[in-house]
Amino acid sequence: MDDKLSNAQIAWRAAQDLEDGSYVNLGIGFPEMIATFQPEGREVTYHTENGVLGFGQAPEPGQEDWDLINAGKRAVTLKPGAAFFHHADSFAMVRGGHLDLAVLGAYQVAQTGDLANWRVGSKGVPAVGGAMDLVHGAKRVAVVTDHVTKDGQPKLVEKCSFPLTGVACVTRVYTSLAVIDIEGGRFVLREKLPQLSLESLQAVTGAKLHLDGPVGDLLVPETL
């Protein structure tokens, strides 16, 4: 589908829901872009599993301090009051329910909130990292993803066919076509691209989309 949001636009939309004063873990790769679009005036403290709380934006090229990296091995800067701690303490924060939000990528999300994001079938080397801890330790879990795979198959499905990261853990999905909540074992459509019909969206979604009130227009800046 050609008429869809870019990864940066999806990240921008997800960033608009960051709550002031929240503690947030952003998954490696695409979800990290969300920090770039944090709304002005909101204070968000970012956590990374390798033991940093309160890191800031990526440094300018050539200004990296490679002793300061996140879990994805990307260089970061530090905000005033940032803290370093042992890897075990970092996971104690996760498992102890001290994170308000975790935002992760996905291979599949089921209508029940099940998440598969660490392995596609039996291919590749398993690398779940801290995702299993995050999806059950954070108070809320959201996903950012393209709505379909590269070959056009739905990523939002009735039941995941890939190995699960977590069961009934995702509550909101930001895709290249829509914003969808997971409530009561159902996909509830909240926003969609205004030029996209409900029928067209349903055709590329692997489970029924439910309506619970008006559906808003998914509006983002054209260039980011």
pLDDT tens across the length of the chain (224 residues): 568 999 999 999 999 999 999 999 999 889 999 999 999 999 999 999 999 999 988 899 999 999 999 988 899 999 999 999 999 999 999 999 999 999 999 999 999 999 999 876 666 556 667 889 999 999 999 999 999 999 999 999 999 999 999 999 999 999 999 999 999 999 999 999 999 999 999 999 999 999 999 999 999 998 77
Confidence at residue 125, expressed as pLDDT on a 0 to 100 scale: 57
Confidence at residue 203, expressed as pLDDT on a 0 to 100 scale: 98
Active site residues: 49
Confidence at residue 119, expressed as pLDDT on a 0 to 100 scale: 74
Confidence at residue 130, expressed as pLDDT on a 0 to 100 scale: 83
Which residue bears the tokens 């076509």? 177
Confidence at residue 105, expressed as pLDDT on a 0 to 100 scale: 95
Confidence at residue 118, expressed as pLDDT on a 0 to 100 scale: 85
Confidence at residue 144, expressed as pLDDT on a 0 to 100 scale: 98
Confidence at residue 121, expressed as pLDDT on a 0 to 100 scale: 60
Confidence at residue 122, expressed as pLDDT on a 0 to 100 scale: 62
Other residues' Cβ atoms within 10 Å of the Cβ of residue 97: 11
Confidence at residue 3, expressed as pLDDT on a 0 to 100 scale: 87
